[in-house]
Every structure is written in structure tokens, then in C-alpha cells.
Amino acid sequence: MTRTYGEGCPIALSLDIVGERWALLVVRELRLGPRRYRDLQEALPGITPAVLSKRLKELEEYGVLRRRELPPPVAARVYELTAWGAELEPVFQSLARWGVRSPVLPLTGEVSADSVMLGLRTFFDGNGDGDGEPRTPWSASYEVALGRDVYRLRVEDGRLTELARGPAADAPDVLVRTTKPAWQAVLHGTDPLDDAVAAGRLSVTGDVAALRRLVAARTHPTPR
């Protein structure tokens, strides 16, 4: 470790590890699974190769992520979170929930497809502080394609139990095909689901009611 706060406080220790510039954003990009160097560079606009290399090296040494070489058919090296690195999830959740309530900064700019889907998990009703009224529990499986980025989701008894990259293993109850901005608008509530479907911005196959429940389960914290 180069610079350290040199304290005995676990918060300071965490910041020694993931508090450097870009570090937590690199980890964020690995939340839904392994990524190649190139993927990370594209997902982190503005990071320079030197800094990305340095962060990856440091985070690997700390045990937050590991390098892995995929066998010949793919022949790529990827970075993936260790079990301990994956335990940063509550940190991301709390940071996102705090940042979204910022009274000063507008929250403009691009968001990756991964982040849109992870935002759905972070702000999914029932994953939160448990301050909401109990909703009617439901269960359904989903496949959502945002352009060529495909995700599978599963809700069981009103809890979001699965979110991963890639198509659903078995036939899902609902199949959604749309674009990232259209999906964002629907989730954000600025474009009602039925309008988006009617206008062809979003196509649904299967249980539309289950999709309505999913969209409705996305909460919208009040900014201060």
C-alpha cells in the first residue's frame, strides 16, 4: 500500500483499500460478473490505462479481485471479484441510496446497462430499509434485453432473488426487449409502461402484469 491513513479504524482501513480514486468504480463494474481490461476501460470513461492497471494490481493484492485466464476457446484474461470483494455490495447500496438524494448535484451523464439493472436491485421495494408498507408478494422470472445486453431476473415472494448477465436458463415468464434509455425512462416513471409498449419503444412477450409489478416495485427516493 502506498499511502495509508494509518489508523486502527475499520472505516479508514476500508478507505486505504478502496478509497483511492477510481478503485470503487472498478469494483462496481465487476458486480455482475467478470470483465476484461477493455470492458473496464470502456465502462469507465476518463480512466487512463496506467491508472486502471495500477488499481487492478492493488485490488488484486488486497484480495478484492482476482485475475483469471479463460481457457483457449475464449483465450481472454478477465478480472472478477473475490468473495470478500463481493461483500462490498452493502457499500454500493448505501452509497447509491445516499447519492440519489443529493440536493446539489443533478445526476446527469451516461449510465452503463449493468448500472441500470443494479439500480433496479438497489431501489427494489423490500430490499431497502424495510420502511415501506408490506406489498403483495409475487413471483416471476424475467429476461430483459437492452440492445445486446441481456439480463435475467427472478422475483420470489416479492424479493428480488436473482440478477445476472445473460439469458434466462429456462423460459422466463416475461421477455422484454428494449433499449437502455427506454428502459430507464420506464423504470424512472417518466414513460408509462403501457405507453412505451404501445409506441413500440418496448416489446413484451409473456406475462405483462408481472412486468407491471416489477416496474412498480422500483422505488423512487425523494431528493432532499
Check residue 51 for interaction with DNA (CB under 7 A): yes
Among the listed residues 47, 34, 25, the one whose alpha carbon sits nearest the alpha carbon of residue 76: 34
Q: 23 in helix, strand or coil? A: helix
Write the binding mask 26 to 45 for DNA: x where contact by CB under 7 A, - elsewhere: ----------xxxx------
CA–CA gap between residue 215 and residue 212 (Å, rounded): 5
The 10 Å Cβ neighbour count of residue 17 is 21
Among the listed residues 217, 215, 170, the one whose alpha carbon sits nearest the alpha carbon of residue 197: 215
- Applying CB under 8 A, among 53, 102, 203, 205 the residue interacting with its own copies is 102
In Å, the largest CA–CA distance within the chain is: 59
Give the binding range for its own copies (CB under 8 A) out of 48-56, 72-80, 82-90, 141-149: 82-90
**Partner whose binding site includes residue 48, from its own copies, DNA, none (CB under 5 to 8 Å by kind):** DNA
Distance CA 168, CA 154 (A): 9
- CA–CA separation, 40 vs 23, rounded Å? 12
Does 12 interact with DNA (rule: CB under 7 A)? no
Nearest distance in Å: CB 66, DNA? 12
Minimal distance, residue 54 CB to its own copies, in Å: 16
150 Cβ neighbours under 8 A, 6+ residues apart? 143, 144, 165, 166, 167
Count of residues of this chain found to bind its own copies when the rule CB under 8 A is applied: 54
Name the 3-class secondary structure at 11: helix
In the list 2, 71, 75, 105, the residue contacting its own copies (rule: CB under 8 A) is 105
List CB contacts of 19: < 8 A, sequence separation 6 or more: none
CB-CB contact of 164 with 149 (8 Å): no
CB of 18 to its own copies, least distance (A): 8
In the set 65, 88, 174, 176, which binds its own copies (CB under 8 A)? 88
Pick the piece of the chain touching its own copies (CB under 8 A) from 23-31, 132-140, 146-154, 156-164.
23-31
Binding residues for its own copies (CB under 8 A): 1, 3, 5-17, 19, 21, 24-25, 28, 45-46, 61-63, 83-84, 87-88, 90-105, 107-112, 115, 119, 224
Binding residues for DNA (CB under 7 A): 2-3, 20-22, 36-39, 46-51, 53-54, 56, 67, 76-78
